[in-house]
Amino acid sequence: MTTNLESDQAAVNAVPVQIVAAWAEQDSDAFARTFTPDGTMILPGVHRKGQDEIPAYMTTAIAGTLAHTRVTGAPIDLRFLTPDSAPVITKGGVLAPGERAIRAAWVVVRRTAAQPESTLEAATAHEQYSQVRIPVPLHSSFNGDQR
């Protein structure tokens, strides 16, 4: 598959933006659609897999334990491992009032139109990027600073 580095970088960077937007709208289904069908979400004390478990958890959490939180996720680094996958480091996280941002790692993969279960609004009709998993956030140990 041929790639255009600049547009691919923009598409990969759009995934955390979609997460932030879905959280702000408290839309657990939109949040879950950013994951591949077998994607994994890991938050402190939480591990959910797939597009059934993730929205079910988020619906309950947004109304309860995560009710007064917000999500931020500004990409600060991304590198393509293959033309179709890239780990992304973001600054942000699930923040309660008064908390500061952390570093988080995401793995994002390209999905094609032949894989319709993965549709992202910001993507083209032919291919888009989806999040595979969010590993446990890399707290202040990432590069030793909190820029």
Condensed to tens digits (0 to 9), the pLDDT of residues 90-117 reads 888 888 888 888 888 888 888 765 544 4
Tokens of 33: 């659609």
Instruction: Please provide the average confidence, as pLDDT, over all residues in the chain.
Output: 75
User: How many structural domains compose the chain?
Assistant: 1
Query: Residue 36 above 70 pLDDT?
Result: yes
What pLDDT is attached to residue 131? Answer: 53
CATH code, domain with 57: 3.10.450.50
Residue of higher predicted confidence among 46 and 4: 46
Flag whether 147 is in a domain.
Answer: no
